[in-house]
């Protein structure tokens, strides 16, 4: 019996095997959940790890899929993640890349770069240079559908015309590189198997007829339906009609899909990055959302990770300005991806769609937990993609979550991230669950305009104050409100809003944040407050000191609460020049104190005792 020799790895062919290089191995140190681990075993399906800091060895096992997902969360694993393939992409994306967007010459060059051991970042940079000039074309996918695509320095976008309609696909070049790595790895593995394995002998020894295996015959029963005697039908035989009933083999029912779970945020740096990085994260999330909706699918945990990095368009107005030369590729990409309605809504949100940092969210939950809240109905009335839901402490995870989000794209992403929550994609003014919620939490929108809600129009409140007024009616007596808001809720000259709130709720405390609290996440430098309220049983005629303003030592009018409680101002009170040339109050951060530490001390001064509803 002759076989083909296994191909020997020599100096001549070593390069073409570089793509087989395992990105991680036994003995490597990796960082999971901000903790270093040593890899002790790499199996086909699982990876086993050990925490070397522990005196006694405690082992941790992760599926390879989840292990690689966790690796991508920590930049210190970049030496590994830069060589990870991405196999969980649909066939249309692979088809677009391999048979339409990448010419044979580009495919060969990318294949050679992989063979030479280049990482995904280098491949992404190469593709970015190759497609520096924007271009558009049409191709036919393997299933016969047509696809129009646009390439640019940042990535590609495609419109696929399928039987169910048109759906959008796309990737940034850094995200396309792991997909191509998976394609070329599978290609190389197939070639290796072909070269290494002999042709299988599929002939079977002859068996005696008596020993030949008879195929299993289906079991059946017969039932006579009618008999027609031959003498009555002029036939030499009777005609009998029977029904054959076959016993269908029992099949195991298909395994049920695991229940969709709410996403849990574990990255304190979520949303941090430059404008272009935030744009890329937004587009990756939008493209994935449209793909999921086209397929009628629920996001997997890995896909939720991508969706969670959507930060909205606050501070990204340049992406909507076609006159900005350094944003022209992004403008074209955005315009081609969104529907006219989605585009208009996204453009309108550039002034007020800002997202809350995990540091602030953690502190708010810690304060509410200190009051005694453990479980109940939680409302987030302007939820964005739901960062407050994503950071819900485990001690409160049995709570029922309700969210409201006006923007369509943002709200649909939130539904994919938190499938167990009751999320309304509409304006807060369309909802009404009076005296229903135990806790209302969130970062309310700010602006000098009013919301058209007939029940509240007579108040004449601006949008941020309207959210306080309506939420006071939505929470039950004894319920707690913890909102991040502009400082002007507390500092505006007119006391009418504060008087309205004070009559209906007790102020448990307030924390004034420094002007850089949301700079990294939202790209904005404004002074914001966290206000904690507890709803009264009924409105009372009261006018506490915090309804009014006082004057600080620099002569600025600020809320009397912060004059009486300066420790609740987490920074240095000073002034800054406005765009109109006048000096205005601001709070600059203390350079030697981090915000998380300051918040930890400040929330100890928040009062209130929460009692669960009977």
Question: Would you list the DSSP string of 234-253?
Answer: T-SS-EEEEEEEE-PPP-PP
Contact between 371 and 485 (Cβ < 8 Å):
no
What are the tokens at 329?
């590729």
Dihedral angle sign, alpha carbons of residues 281, 28, 265, 567? negative
Q: Angle, nearest 10°, between helix axes 358-370 and 595-602? A: 20
CA distances from 43 to 50, 84, 190, 579 (A): 15, 16, 21, 61
CATH number of 358-540+595-605: 3.40.50.150
- Dist. CA 308–CA 310, nearest whole Å: 5
Q: At 14, is the pLDDT very low, low, confident or very high (cuts 50, 70, 90)?
A: very low
What are the tokens at 383?
């939820």
Contact between 430 and 452 (Cβ < 8 Å):
no
Which of 1-10, 282-291, 508-517 bottoms out in mean pLDDT, i.e. has the lowest? 1-10
Mind listing the pLDDT tens digit for each residue in 73-96?
Answer: 888 999 999 888 886 667 778 888
Average of per-residue pLDDT across 304-314: 90
As a whole number, the mean pLDDT across the chain is 84
Burial of 152 (0-12, 13-18, 19+ CB in 10 A): buried
- Per DSSP bridges, beta strands 165-172 and 155-162 are antiparallel
Q: Is the pLDDT of residue 438 over 90?
A: yes
| The pLDDT value given to residue 4 | 38
In the three-class reduction of DSSP (H, G, I as helix; E, B as strand; rest coil), residue 189 is classed as helix
Name the CA dihedral angle for 550, 556, 558, 563, rounded to a multiple of 10 degrees: -60
| The pLDDT value given to residue 432 | 94
Average of per-residue pLDDT across 40-48: 83
Q: Is the pLDDT of residue 288 over 70?
A: yes
Contact between 571 and 590 (Cβ < 8 Å):
yes
Contact between 532 and 509 (Cβ < 8 Å):
yes
Contact between 573 and 546 (Cβ < 8 Å):
no
Q: At 219, is the pLDDT very low, low, confident or very high (cuts 50, 70, 90)?
A: low
Overall size of the chain counted in residues = 614
Average of per-residue pLDDT across 322-338: 86
H/E/C letters for each residue in 488-537?
A: HHHHCCCCHHHHHHHHHEEEEEEEECCCCCCHHHHCCCCCEEEEEEEECC
Contact between 546 and 498 (Cβ < 8 Å):
yes
| The pLDDT value given to residue 158 | 83
What are the tokens at 145?
């559908």
| The pLDDT value given to residue 10 | 42
| The pLDDT value given to residue 575 | 85
- Dist. CA 256–CA 230, nearest whole Å: 56
- 465 CB contacts (<8 Å, ≥6 apart)? 459, 489, 497
H/E/C letters for each residue in 379-446?
A: EECCCCCCHHHHCCCHHHCCCEEEEEECCHHHHHHHHHHCCCCEEEECCHHHCCCCCCEEEEEEECCC
Q: Is the pLDDT of residue 20 over 70?
A: no
Mind listing the pLDDT tens digit for each residue in 86-129?
Answer: 866 677 788 888 888 999 999 999 988 888 888 899 999 999 89
What percent of the chain stands above pLDDT 70? 83
Count of other CB atoms within 10 angstroms of residue 158? 26
Average of per-residue pLDDT across 476-480: 97
- 327 CB contacts (<8 Å, ≥6 apart)? 318, 319, 321
Dihedral angle sign, alpha carbons of residues 194, 196, 199, 204? negative
Contact between 511 and 483 (Cβ < 8 Å):
no
**Better-scored residue on pLDDT, 373 or 352:** 373
In the three-class reduction of DSSP (H, G, I as helix; E, B as strand; rest coil), residue 485 is classed as strand
| The pLDDT value given to residue 8 | 40
Q: At 434, is the pLDDT very low, low, confident or very high (cuts 50, 70, 90)?
A: very high
| The pLDDT value given to residue 384 | 92
Furthest-apart CA atoms within the chain: distance in Å:
122
So where are the chain's domains? 22-81, 91-194, 358-540+595-605
Q: At 609, is the pLDDT very low, low, confident or very high (cuts 50, 70, 90)?
A: very high
| The pLDDT value given to residue 221 | 72
Name the CA dihedral angle for 396, 397, 399, 402, rounded to a multiple of 10 degrees: 120
Q: At 196, is the pLDDT very low, low, confident or very high (cuts 50, 70, 90)?
A: low
pTM of the complete model beyond 0.85 = no
- Dist. CA 453–CA 180, nearest whole Å: 51
What are the tokens at 240?
């009998």
Phi/psi of residue 569, nearest 5 degrees = -100, 110
Mind listing the pLDDT tens digit for each residue in 223-258?
Answer: 776 766 766 666 666 667 777 666 655 656 666 666
What are the tokens at 322?
């076609």
Q: At 413, is the pLDDT very low, low, confident or very high (cuts 50, 70, 90)?
A: very high
**Better-scored residue on pLDDT, 204 or 487:** 487
DSSP 588-613: EPPTTS-HHHHHHHHGGG--------
| The pLDDT value given to residue 603 | 95
Q: Is the pLDDT of residue 9 over 50?
A: no
What percent of the chain stands above pLDDT 90? 43
| The pLDDT value given to residue 197 | 53
Average of per-residue pLDDT across 565-588: 85
Mind listing the pLDDT tens digit for each residue in 365-393?
Answer: 999 999 999 999 999 999 999 999 999 99
């Amino acid at each position: 019996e002759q076989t083909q020799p296994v191909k020997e790895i020599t100096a001549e062919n070593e390069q073409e095997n570089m793509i087989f290089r395992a990105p991680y191995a036994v003995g490597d140190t990796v960082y999971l959940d901000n903790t270093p681990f040593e890899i002790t075993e790499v199996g086909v399906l699982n990876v086993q790890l050990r925490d070397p800091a522990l005196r006694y060895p405690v082992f941790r096992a992760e599926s390879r899929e989840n292990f690689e997902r966790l690796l991508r969360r920590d930049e210190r694993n970049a030496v590994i993640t830069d060589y990870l393939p991405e196999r969980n992409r649909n066939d249309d994306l692979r088809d677009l890349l391999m048979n339409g967007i990448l010419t044979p010459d580009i495919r060969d060059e990318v294949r050679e770069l992989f063979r030479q051991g280049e990482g995904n970042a280098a491949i992404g940079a190469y593709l970015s240079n190759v497609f520096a000039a924007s271009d558009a074309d049409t191709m036919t996918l393997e299933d016969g559908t047509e696809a129009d695509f646009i390439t640019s320095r940042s990535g590609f976008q495609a419109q696929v015309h399928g039987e169910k309609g048109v759906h959008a696909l796309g990737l940034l070049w850094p995200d396309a590189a792991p997909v191509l790595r998976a394609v070329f790895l599978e290609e190389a593995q197939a070639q290796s198997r072909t070269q290494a394995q002999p042709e299988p002998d599929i002939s079977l020894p002859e068996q005696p007829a008596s020993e030949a295996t008879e195929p299993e015959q289906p079991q059946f029963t017969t039932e006579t339906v009618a008999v027609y005697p031959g003498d009555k039908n002029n036939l030499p035989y009777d005609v009998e009609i029977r029904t054959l009933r076959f016993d269908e083999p029992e099949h195991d029912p298909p395994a049920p899909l695991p229940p969709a779970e709410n996403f849990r945020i574990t990255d304190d740096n979520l949303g941090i990055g430059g404008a272009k990085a935030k744009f890329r994260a937004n587009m990756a999330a939008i493209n994935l959302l449209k793909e999921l909706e086209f397929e009628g699918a629920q996001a997997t945990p890995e896909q939720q990770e991508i969706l969670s990095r959507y930060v909205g368009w606050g501070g990204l107005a340049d992406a909507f300005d076609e006159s900005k030369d350094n944003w022209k590729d992004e403008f074209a990409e955005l315009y081609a991806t969104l529907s006219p309605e989605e585009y208009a809504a996204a453009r309108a949100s550039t002034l007020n769609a800002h997202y809350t940092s995990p540091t602030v969210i953690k502190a708010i939950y810690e304060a509410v937990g200190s009051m005694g809240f453990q479980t109940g109905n939680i409302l987030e009335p302007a939820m964005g993609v739901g960062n407050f839901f994503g950071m819900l402490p485990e001690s409160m995870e049995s709570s029922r979550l309700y969210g409201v989000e006006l923007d369509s794209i943002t709200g649909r992403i939130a539904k994919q991230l938190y499938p167990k929550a009751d999320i309304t994609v509409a304006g807060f003014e369309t909802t009404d669950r009076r005296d229903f919620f135990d806790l209302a939490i969130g970062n309310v929108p700010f602006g000098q305009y009013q919301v058209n809600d007939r029940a509240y129009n007579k108040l004449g409140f601006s949008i941020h104050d309207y959210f306080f007024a309506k939420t006071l009616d939505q929470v039950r007596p004894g319920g707690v409100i913890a909102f991040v808001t502009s400082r002007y809720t507390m500092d505006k000259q007119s006391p009418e809003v504060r008087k309205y709130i004070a009559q209906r709720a007790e102020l448990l405390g307030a924390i004034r944040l420094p002007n850089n609290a949301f700079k990294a996440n939202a790209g904005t430098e404004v002074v914001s407050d966290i206000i904690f309220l507890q709803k009264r049983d009924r409105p009372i005629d009261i006018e506490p000191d915090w309804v009014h303003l006082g004057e600080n030592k620099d002569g600025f009018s600020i809320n009397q609460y912060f004059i009486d409680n300066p420790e609740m101002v987490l920074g240095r009170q000073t002034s800054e020049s406005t765009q109109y040339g006048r000096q205005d109050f601001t709070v600059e951060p203390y350079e030697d104190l981090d915000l998380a530490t300051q918040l930890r001390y400040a929330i100890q001064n928040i009062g209130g005792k929460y009692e669960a509803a009977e």
